[in-house]
Amino acid sequence: MKFIPKTVGLFINTVSFISPKTAGNLALSLFSKPLKGKIKEKDFDFLDTAFKEELEYEDLNIMTYRWLGKNKTILLVHGWESNAARWKPLIKNLQEQNYNVIALDAPAHGRSGSKRFNAILYSEFIHIVSKKFNPDVIIGHSVGGMATVFYQHKYQNTALEKLVLLGAPANFTGVFNRYVDMMGYNKKVHKKISDIVVEKYGHAPEYFSAADFSKEIKTSALIIHDERDRIIPYQDAIHFDKNYINAKLITTQGFGHSLNNETITEYINKYIAY
């Protein structure tokens, strides 16, 4: 399995000598297309206990799930190749405390639309959902945490009381460079991907730094990151901690990237209760 990315990367590198732009588009398309994230059969019953409602962003549908409660409204934002069902243990805990819980499926994940995913598009999904349900707290895992920061940086929602960022990437460049290394892309492909990002979004990849954006966010935040996270390095949490003035960092050991267990739930409960 380790040889598959390198084999695909070699093919795209070969294409780059004929057409760098085609190679860049292929690489970026591959980068933004999740291979997982569809809802598993075992999760349908749980998600069907929620009130489901589709919202729209441009021509894309956004699937939302709502479990009613009389306490604060909590919005849950999952990560890459996942869906709203990943929050099942936390949702059940929040229901016991009578929180009003909202979860959404990301672009190209679960029951939401789009064939491609990126954190910028995801942040617009979060914006649409936030306008509809007015969350007091947003909890984001992995790239869902990054997209949450992108959202709050852009829209500065003053009604939002708190953020919880679980194993969140500090910047797009780190994610991007790890992808390039994994695939073994040459410099032509690497540069062309950057050029395409500038064309599409008006900025180079380096601009999209959630940690840098956090300097301009006043909303209180809790950052939780595991020292042994093999997906998003712990150094990303340090980057956030240095930049996000109104944030507290909790470091864990042995929980990996998922951070989906009772200990993390306890940290979250304590933080959002006040």
pLDDT digits (tens, 9 = 90+) for 54-99: 999 999 999 999 999 999 999 999 999 999 999 999 999 999 999 9
Indicate the pLDDT class of residue 41, thresholds 50, 70 and 90.
very high
With a cut of 70, say whether residue 249 has pLDDT above it: yes
Q: Which pLDDT belongs to residue 6?
A: 85
Contact 257, 228 (CB under 8 A): no
Give the Å distances, CA to CA, from 110 to 53, 126, 230: 13, 15, 24
Q: Supply angle C-alpha 229, 82, 140, rounded to 5.
A: 65
Q: CATH says 42-171+209-272 is which class? A: alpha beta
Average of per-residue pLDDT across 143-161: 98
Q: Which pLDDT belongs to residue 2?
A: 56
Q: Which pLDDT belongs to residue 29?
A: 92
Q: Which pLDDT belongs to residue 244?
A: 98
Domain spans of the chain, in order of start: 1-31+172-202, 42-171+209-272
Q: Which pLDDT belongs to residue 230?
A: 94
Euclidean distance between CA atoms 108 and 81, whole angstroms: 9
Q: Which pLDDT belongs to residue 90?
A: 98
Contact 55, 118 (CB under 8 A): no
Would you state the structure tokens that stand for residue 76, as one six-digit string? 């849950």
Q: Which pLDDT belongs to residue 3?
A: 62
Indicate the pLDDT class of residue 145, thresholds 50, 70 and 90.
very high
Three-class secondary structure of residue 246 per DSSP? coil
Helical residues (DSSP H) of 97-171, grouped into ranges = 119-133, 143-155
The β-bridge relationship of strands 60-67 and 73-77 is unpaired
What count of other Cβ atoms lies within 10 Å of the Cβ of residue 267?
17
Q: What does the mean pLDDT of the chain come to?
A: 95
Contact 50, 77 (CB under 8 A): no
With a cut of 90, say whether residue 274 has pLDDT above it: no
Indicate the pLDDT class of residue 241, thresholds 50, 70 and 90.
very high
